[in-house]
Amino acid sequence: LIYAAFMLLVLLTLVASSREHVLELPLFCITILWALAYLVADMTSPLTLSF
């Protein structure tokens, strides 16, 4: 369900963007950083994803 959470954040960012809401950029940054942390954690551990 972590991937669903990422996609939900994308939708929330889109809604914030359409309303010119101040949370647009923080939501975008949180999603990017969380996804990056998830990817780096996978890269630096024994193979788990897509193998």
Which residues form the interface with another protein (CB under 8 A)? 1-4, 6-8, 10-11, 13-14, 17-18, 20, 24-25, 28, 31-32, 35-36, 38-39, 42-43, 47-51
Cβ closer to another protein: 2 or 22? Answer: 2
Q: How far is CA 22 from CA 5, 28, 36, in A?
A: 21, 11, 23
Q: Is 34 exposed, middle or buried (0-12, 13-18, 19+ CB in 10 A)?
A: middle
Give me the least distance between CB of 47 and another protein, in Å please.
7
Cβ closer to another protein: 4 or 22? Answer: 4
Q: What's the CA gap between 49 and 29, in Å, rounded?
A: 24
